[in-house]
Amino acid sequence: MHFTQDRIDALDTRTRAHFINSLSGFKSANLIGTQDDQRQTNLSIVSSVFHLGANPPLVGMIIRPHSVARHTFENILQTGFYTINQVNQFIFSQAHQTSARYDRDESEFDVTGLTVEYLMDFHAPFVKQSRLKYSVKLVEQQHLAVNGTELVIGEIVDVYVDEGAVKADGFIDLHAIDTVAISGLDSYHTTNKLARLPYAKK
Amino acid sequence: MHFTQDRIDALDTRTRAHFINSLSGFKSANLIGTQDDQRQTNLSIVSSVFHLGANPPLVGMIIRPHSVARHTFENILQTGFYTINQVNQFIFSQAHQTSARYDRDESEFDVTGLTVEYLMDFHAPFVKQSRLKYSVKLVEQQHLAVNGTELVIGEIVDVYVDEGAVKADGFIDLHAIDTVAISGLDSYHTTNKLARLPYAKK
């Protein structure tokens, strides 16, 4: 099937959103934990977290500043701190529910039943049920004029991960800790291992 | 298990790369097809392709300009065109092999056996074996000073996808077309469907 640019442009907004969101492939599923200066907590599912570099350890994400993630974005700018919590198959429905449009004074922790956890005096809250999570310090925020989104870049500070998931070579077995992947806007997936492949040589 | 920043900093480079690359969650698996002005083709696996927006339809990726993806990056800047081809479970080993350090005059199509396909007179080559692929026009390139990577943003032009994979609401069933996900630097995964969840409401 061939979809020309004209045919894609002619799709209604929601259909186009489903279609275009499927094109990049499987996406990461993460909950972003923040709180404001008044200690009002916020939790937001984000499918745009991506690896940026290992040295220094950096992680990026794209946020739409007027979307349901607006409080997350404001809290990050206000405090400079956030947590990233991988979503696993036992909490994916609750994680998805954080994408509803709650008011600023409602905490997605309370409404979804996910449990607030504070670790090592870090300012932002973690999700207790997440089995791989880390604290992040804001490094840089860039407005992308091309479509009004924001690129948020953070430095990875402390990492908390299930015992046994970290292999001798540093690889973390995301399959073993039931981390899920997202496709499109709303489809959640567990995984099966195909293989780990050796470093490719000519 | 708790990994402090000091403990992470103390990991050797390769171990830290495996570890940090696992933190963002599952990643997309895509082959980037390009050619230079002399029609020398190039193909490179990239795990950093991400959805940027549906209206206009935009896709982003992060490229390390001195990595094995250097020819891909140079060809995109030189010509302004590239293709993105989702990797499926029948070609993931060949796709991974494109990450070896080939010379500029060697085509990863030839060495891996993946088949060049030209569609609609688009300048850049597609991968015939890919079941979801699209042509992309470079919109913007940004140097990220924080770690010397490049953010490449492109506009989606024509989309080619297996008959039957596109649902009535625009969602594309990536599981049905055997698209794989990556974790860490080298682990490939097929998926199982958990559920598609309804648009979340308060």
**Could you tell me if B174 and B18 are in contact, meaning their C-beta atoms sit under 8 angstroms apart?**
no
Q: What is the pLDDT of residue B139?
A: 98
Ranges of residues in chain B with a pLDDT under 70 are none
Rounded distance between C-alpha atoms, residue A131 and residue A143, angstroms: 32
Judging contacts by C-beta atoms under 8 Å, the chain B residues touching residue A191 are 26, 181, 183, 189-192
- Whether residue A68 is predicted with pLDDT greater than 90 in this model: the reply is no
Rounded distance between C-alpha atoms, residue A44 and residue A40, angstroms: 14
Q: Which of A14, A51, A187 has its CB closest to that of B24?
A: A51
> Which residue of B50, B96, B111, B150 is the best one to mutate when testing the A interface, meaning the one whose CB has the most A CBs within 10 A?
B50
Strands (E), B17-105: 27-28, 30-35, 41-46, 50-54, 57-63, 81-86
End-to-end CA distance of chain B: 35
Are B186 and A194 in contact (CB < 8 Å)? no
CA distance B102 to chain A (A): 6
CA distance A130 to chain B (A): 12
Are A8 and B48 in contact (CB < 8 Å)? no
Are A169 and B60 in contact (CB < 8 Å)? no
Domains observed in chain A: 25-189 (2.30.110.10)
Are A62 and B48 in contact (CB < 8 Å)? no
What are the helix (H) ranges across chain B? 5-9, 13-23, 70-79, 92-97, 108-112
Summarize pLDDT for B29-88 with one digit per residue, the tens: 999 999 999 999 999 999 999 999 999 999 999 999 988 899 999 999 999 999 999 999
Judging contacts by C-beta atoms under 8 Å, the chain A residues touching residue B169 are 14-15, 18
Please report the ipTM that was assigned to this predicted complex: 0.97
Summarize pLDDT for A28-64 with one digit per residue, the tens: 999 999 999 999 999 999 999 999 999 999 999 999 9
